[in-house]
Structure 1
């Protein structure tokens, strides 16, 4: 047995199967689609450290599976780091904050010159990025929901109808 097959079996047994079981646990295609859409959209917010609180609050508000929503937000978190700069640049463009250099040497130079001004500019740029994410989150979440819904309808098992025999009513006079 090769090392790759051992690692693959371990990942499947310890990560993929438990995640799959959690996501399928008594969820309808609609609720699973909503859970994955909400978790995915919240997981890419360009503000590090608030995804757990935000996904818990939104999942509780809309009566989604909180654990599954938080799990999905954690699974898409690598995208948070990849999309932070594009969201910030989009926010800067939308709100007309002017040119902000985001390369490491230019930010180091900003901090050497005036660190208070650098923090102020980066704070405003991050807020603009969060605002750009907020504007895009609802349409992207809705699109993701409607894309995932037919997929989950095919993948999830059909619920079994349980017929309960009612006891025969007796007429007492």
Structure 2
């Protein structure tokens, strides 16, 4: 989506840094999906995790995964809207402050934006 405006290494490092946060949100999304569907509380045990890893997942484990995905699908638009409202002013401030220098090596640097002859 961002094309040449985003450095691939930066995106990979940022994804690596945020992975613990992403994994920690599985449980709240699971519980939210259970509340939405009105189903029972799925116990998160090491036995259930072993069944998922070994491919012997029962119907309950698969249903809990569906609940977590449903919770994410419903919560994601609200989370994205909140992040948008928080980060847009920050990005506008950064563009105003650092907007003169291009962020991509493909974008040519204009001489008049970097050097002033006064």
What are the superposed Cα offsets for residues 132-171 of structure 1, whole Å, 9 maximum, x if unpaired? Answer: 11111112112102211111222340237x699xxxxxxx
Matched, 1:101 2:40: no
Alignment: residue pair count:
94
SS in 1 for 2:89: helix
CA RMSD in angstroms, aligned pairs only? 3.1
Unpaired stretches in structure 1, ≥5 consecutive residues: 1-62, 165-173
The structure showing larger relative contact order (alpha-carbon pairs under 8 Å, at least 6 residues apart) is: 2
Give the 4+ runs in structure 1 shifted more than 6 A: none
Taking structure 2 as the reference length, the TM-score comes to 0.61
Q: Paired residue for 1:124, among 30, 39, 63?
A: 63
CA drift of 1:103 comes to 3.1
Q: How does 1:32-111 map to 2 (within 5 A)?
A: 63-65=1-3, 67=8, 71-104=13-46, 107=48
Number of the residue aligned with 2:100: 159
- Determine if contact 2:29/2:69 at 8 Å carries over to the other structure: yes
Taking structure 1 as the reference length, the TM-score comes to 0.44
Q: Which has the larger radius of gyration?
A: 1
Unpaired stretches in structure 2, ≥5 consecutive residues: 102-109, 113-118
Question: Structure 1: how far apart are the matches of 2:41 and 2:24?
Answer: 20
Question: Structure 1: how far apart are the matches of 2:84 and 2:62?
Answer: 32
